[in-house]
Structure 1
Amino acid sequence: MATPEERLAALGLELPEVVKPLAAYTPTVRTGDHVYVSGQVPLVDGAPAGTGKVGAEVTPERAAELARICALNGIAAVKAEVGELSAVRRVVKLVGFVASDPSFSGQPQVINGASELIGEVFGEAGVHARSAVGVAALPLDVPVEVEMIVEVG
């Protein structure tokens, strides 16, 4: 059975450096068997990979790609906290925020970009509860932000 790191490699993905906090918080907090991952935005090499509102300046398809980047950043934060991704027993919950044009209602499809990557990397342990929420704006004018809770052991 492949490890999450091997699955990432098979997908042609490398974990980025953990995104530095944009304000007064930490990327992860571990309490007991759970790691809470702060909201991850689609930063690549320290810069937003896209900006704008979904349904206006950003297509839903592009927003789903950006949600995938958010999830990859979240996975990097988990690895930095626990050492090996095989320590993840379960991705418990994923919450996605989508900066949306007022007429846009496809937030679940956008956040599928993150959920699908989590499933590809963690397999059955990646099946999670989820919320997809439309919001007026996000930090740095990014279109999407993702946070998650994982169980480790």
Structure 2
Amino acid sequence: MSSEHPSSPAPQGDYVAAVLHAGTIYTAGMTPRIDGRLTVTGLVGDTVSLEEAYAATGLAASNALAAARAVLPDESTGLRCLQMTVYVAAAVGFTQLSAVADGASAAIVAALGPGTLPARSAIGVATLPSGAPVEVQLVAAPL
């Protein structure tokens, strides 16, 4: 997997990784997987540290970018992220959701350049698929 343009992650269920419709790209929720395997599992603020969650969220965002790029039209010159939702499987009392989501924002800027941050929500949840600590979903548009 290239760090600049990784291939689109294979779905882990009965869905597609991304859909392009009427000029907008919607990605499925992406977890921190490499070659289909989660790199970390657990609850943030319990078995997963803030630093581990930040890195995991960056990987999940990179996977979402790869999925979005996979459905770009041939004539497209790039990608603009419009909205990002970051889900954090958080231990009771863990409130640093925004700090975890900053890992996804950093990955977006690293991949697309300065001034490319989307609108963002960071949401704490009890569990995520396969025990993932984070999941990232993007809405984007081709340039």
TM-score, length of structure 2 as denominator length? 0.91
Distance 2:37 2:140 in 1: 26
Aligned residues: CA RMSD: 1.7
Instruction: List structure 1 segments (4+ residues) > 6 angstroms apart after TM superposition.
Output: none
Structure 1 vs Structure 2: percent identity of aligned residues? 32
Question: Residue 135 of structure 2 corresponds to which residue in structure 1?
Answer: 145
Superposition deviation, residue 124 in structure 1: 4.4
Q: 2:72 aligns with which of 72, 82, 99?
A: 82
Which amino acid counterpart does residue 135 of structure 2 have in structure 1? E
Is 1:68 the counterpart of 2:62? The answer is: no
Question: Residue 105 of structure 2 corresponds to which residue in structure 1?
Answer: 115
Is 1:54 the counterpart of 2:58? The answer is: no
- Unaligned 5+ runs, structure 1: 1-8
Question: Residue 6 of structure 1 corresponds to which residue in structure 2?
Answer: none
Distance 1:87 1:101 in 2: 37
Query: Would you say how many aligned residue pairs link Structure 1 and Structure 2?
Result: 141
Secondary structure of residue in 2 paired with 1:146: strand
Secondary structure of residue in 2 paired with 1:103: coil
Matches for 1:2-13 after TM superposition, within 5 Å: 13=3
TM-score, length of structure 1 as denominator length? 0.85
Q: 2:119 aligns with which of 110, 129, 137?
A: 129
Q: Deviations over 1:5-51 (max 9, x none)?
A: xxxx8xxx243332221222111111111100110001112211000
Q: Deviations over 1:108-138 (max 9, x none)?
A: 1001001111012212452210000000000
